[in-house]
Structure 1
Amino acid sequence: MSRDPYAQGLITFDPFVERKSVAGRIVTVLDGKLDNRGIELIHARSRVLQKHEIHELIISFETDPAPGKRVDRIGYVGFFEVHEGGVIVSGDRIRIADKWSGTIAGFDETHVPNHINIVVCGDLNQTGLELGLRVGDMVQIGDGRNIGDGMQTRRCAQSGAGGGSDDRNA
């Protein structure tokens, strides 16, 4: 079995030079909060999202969610269908309509192969229902240079390569 380069600490640099944004639309709005979810974020910082896949968005109420960490305090945001695929990376900004933006904290594979949980953090500790999300709202995930500017956002604390205080995503 091959070694995970992130879990082994082999990646000490940011290999992601240039990427396009990923876009989709909300297909299900969720409501509910848990204080004991026990999500174990995988060590890998990136995931490929293919056109027509559906994935879940979960907001973390933790102060420092990051790859390889456990997340207990969460809120359910919704499911979205990918319309334009690509690669997303922890630290990327996410924007849903003009209602909310945040930062990708990491990924959980509890429900694979059905879907992955994309764990995000942001200033608003609210569920999809509380945020006023609607089916059909646009979801955009990018490298932070072309989306989410001017919206209320909190950058997740990051660990490993490419994390920390990289202001280009602020």
Structure 2
Amino acid sequence: MDVNKEIHNAFEVIANGGIILYPTDTVWGIGCDATNEEAIKKIYALKQREESKSMIVLVNGERMMHQVFNEIPEVAWQILDFAEKPTTLILDKPRNVAKNIIAEDNSLAVRMVNEPFCFKLMERMKKPLVSTSANVSGMFTPKTFKEISPEILKGVDYVVNLQRDKICKNPSCIIKLGLDSQVKVIRK
């Protein structure tokens, strides 16, 4: 399995408004360019998910985090520095992403990843990547590639051929941070 070839193939699909199925640092995810409203609509339709339920966006470092958020509370960096497992932060006032990925309260869930495939794909895209679990809304989150439903496999434009034998970790923990430094743990 050639990582660079998979990055190239996934990039081509995403650059043309497509959606991909790919391994993340936690579970298998469905993703697209986080700035492409039409691609995001495809994911909502495939997951049979209400557009009022926003999805996570992955970034590959501080620079991209600052592209998406003008103001990042200091506590966010402290949480990320001390996190022992993948951690998703919900932050206020996102920018430079599609409107239909932003929650009704003007917040966005974001996770900084360094998993090689995701990191390098975003490096090539120069944009954040949507990440939502590879299941129809309300169904169980698949722990392995084999558990992903045929409906999801057929509904994406490209399936990344990496880590198919990997048993996924649990989803990330989710912490909501307000600009007023309020901290609320959503999922441990």
Q: TM-score, normalized by length of structure 1?
A: 0.27
Q: TM-score, normalized by length of structure 2?
A: 0.25
Larger Rg: 2
Structure with bigger RCO (C-alpha 8 Å, 6+ apart):
2
**Going by fraction, where is helix more abundant, 1 or 2?**
2
